[in-house]
Amino acid sequence: MNQGKYVFSQITEFLPQRVFDTIVEKYSGNHYVKHFTCWNQMLCMMFGQLGNCESLSSLVLCLEAHKSKAYHLGLGVGISKNNLAKANESRNWQIYSEFAYVLIAQARKCCLPDEVELSMEGNVYAFDSSVIDLCISVFWWAKFKKTKSAIKLHTLFDVKTAIPCFIHITEAAVHDVNAMDVLEYEKGSFYVFDRGYIDFKRLYRVHTEGAFFVTRAKDNFDCKRQKSQPCDRGKGVICDQIVLLAGYYAAKKYPDKIRRIKYHDAETNKTFVFITNNFELSALEIALLYKYRWRVELFFKWIKQHLKILTFWGTSENAVKTQVYIAIITYTLVAIAKSELKSPMSTYEILQILSLSLFDKTPVKELINKPYLQNFKEPLYNQLKIF
């Protein structure tokens, strides 16, 4: 990093601005814009994410206090609450959605896989959704219940690299299985679903496209056993069977064979029934695949705690989607910086450091690569020896 630059400017140098400008031109994002461009808007919103600002007013107040530094931060001129609010309301959210996927692709290439016990060659994805509550009197367009509004964040999470690969935002009333229709499945990859996603017509699409699914069977799962395979009961595998669906409509939607595995987890003292279309992996590996589905749950918990997606800085659907995708851009940017600078710190630790150092001029590499010295004890040379 160039010495003398603010930390925020050093972090945003990892953003491919030329790619972003191409996307903006595609959607005519800067049409009739004189000063406050889409790039300036995105950087201001990212500053709010990294600076942990609670509202649009607090974000603008902070930027106004450092108005003389706006040029060097890359924020441009004409920053005001009115300009930022209008930009979030009117500028197409697809600009930031498309740019988020550019960064996601970059992050998946440069980020090293996490330490996981999975040995299979294909990619492993966990797919799930999370509901974000909204006020019905303000966000009327996202009506969920009589007295409640909400949106649903459908996320395809890369388990090995800990990067969200696909984000789909809908109203909370949309059932989870409908989001499976917009997924594009990779041949040879594994997709782990919760049992709320069991729809045999959609699961058969996963099978016909050459991908593998792993999910839990519902309590009313009806099947006809075709073959039983040897299993190791000492390791918790109660049965490993090849079955066909017994229900008329279910068998019509999924006419091929399915593997059914019953597994007892000694740690939680719970018994699970898994179904999958993969017949090569061991039963324990299938159980382990489902165990890693919880990584997407942890991702939802993490971004809700450390990024601003629970309180929104705009009330329209366009403003909400813009803020969510810029939050994903911020997350992937920190992951890219962590990988490029070879930082041993976690993403959360880096965010904590950045939130207090955005206006510093210390090289970022020094900030996020210093050793943790909490348990280090200095020798007391002046202390008298009693014994």
In a domain, 301, yes or no: no
In a domain, 229, yes or no: yes
Give mean pLDDT, residues 76-83. 80
Read off the pLDDT band of 303 (50, 70, 90). Answer: confident
Label residue 21 exposed, middle or buried (CB < 10 Å: 0-12, 13-18, 19+).
middle
Rg (C-alpha) for the chain, rounded Å, is 25
Give mean pLDDT, residues 23-46. 90
Read off the pLDDT band of 371 (50, 70, 90). Answer: low
Strand ranges inside 249-368, DSSP E: 258-265, 270-276
Secondary structure in 3-state letters for 161-199:
CCEEEEEEEEECCCCHHHHHHHCCCCCCCEEEECHHHCC
In a domain, 278, yes or no: yes
Who has greater pLDDT, 146 or 7? 7
**Upper half-sphere CA count for residue 268 (Cβ side, 13 Å):** 7
Q: Is the dihedral of CA 251, 198, 292, 207 positive or negative?
A: positive
Give the pLDDT confidence score for residue 24 in this predicted structure.
95
Give the pLDDT confidence score for residue 72 in this predicted structure.
78
In a domain, 351, yes or no: yes
Give the pLDDT confidence score for residue 143 in this predicted structure.
83
Q: Are residues 26 and 71 in the same domain?
A: yes
Residue 222's domain comprises 195-292
Give the pLDDT confidence score for residue 3 in this predicted structure.
58
Residues 67-83: b if buried by 16+ CB within 10 A, e if exposed:
eeebeebbbbeebebeb
Read off the pLDDT band of 375 (50, 70, 90). Answer: very low
The C-alpha atoms of residue 192 and residue 277 are separated, in whole angstroms, by 12
Give the pLDDT confidence score for residue 144 in this predicted structure.
86
In a domain, 362, yes or no: yes
The C-alpha atoms of residue 332 and residue 328 are separated, in whole angstroms, by 6
In a domain, 384, yes or no: no
Contact 191, 206 (CB under 8 A): yes
Q: Are residues 89 and 11 in the same domain?
A: yes
Q: 53: which strand partners? A: none
Give mean pLDDT, residues 147-153. 89
In a domain, 50, yes or no: yes
Q: What is the CA angle 94-137-330, rounded to 5? A: 35
The helix (H) or strand (E) run that includes residue 233 is none
Who has greater pLDDT, 77 or 345? 345
- pLDDT of residue 17 exceeding 80, the answer is yes
Q: Are residues 265 and 219 in the same domain?
A: yes
Q: Are residues 283 and 340 in the same domain?
A: no
- Counting other chains too, the contacts that 107-111 makes at CB distance below 8 Å and 24 or more residues apart are 107/161, 107/163, 107/332, 107/335, 107/336, 107/339, 108/158, 108/161, 108/163, 108/165, 110/336, 110/339, 110/340, 111/161, 111/162, 111/163, 111/335, 111/336, 111/338, 111/339
- pLDDT of residue 99 exceeding 90, the answer is yes
Question: What are residue 143's phi and psi, to 5 degrees?
Answer: -60, 130
Boundary residue ending a domain (292, 313, 340): 292
- pLDDT of residue 257 exceeding 50, the answer is yes
Give the pLDDT confidence score for residue 370 in this predicted structure.
64
Give the pLDDT confidence score for residue 114 in this predicted structure.
61
The answer to which of 112-121, 346-355, 375-384 has the lowest mean pLDDT is 375-384
Selection from 83, 70, 93 nearest residue 37 by Cα: 83
Q: Are residues 256 and 343 in the same domain?
A: no
Give the pLDDT confidence score for residue 67 in this predicted structure.
79
Q: Are residues 87 and 20 in the same domain?
A: yes
In a domain, 150, yes or no: no
Selection from 121, 130, 284, 279 nearest residue 213 by Cα: 279
Q: Are residues 86 and 37 in the same domain?
A: yes
pTM summary value: 0.85
- pLDDT of residue 376 exceeding 70, the answer is no
Give mean pLDDT, residues 41-59. 88
The C-alpha atoms of residue 283 and residue 265 are separated, in whole angstroms, by 13
pLDDT tens, position by position, 319-351? 999 999 999 999 999 989 988 888 888 888 888
Count how many domains the chain has: 2
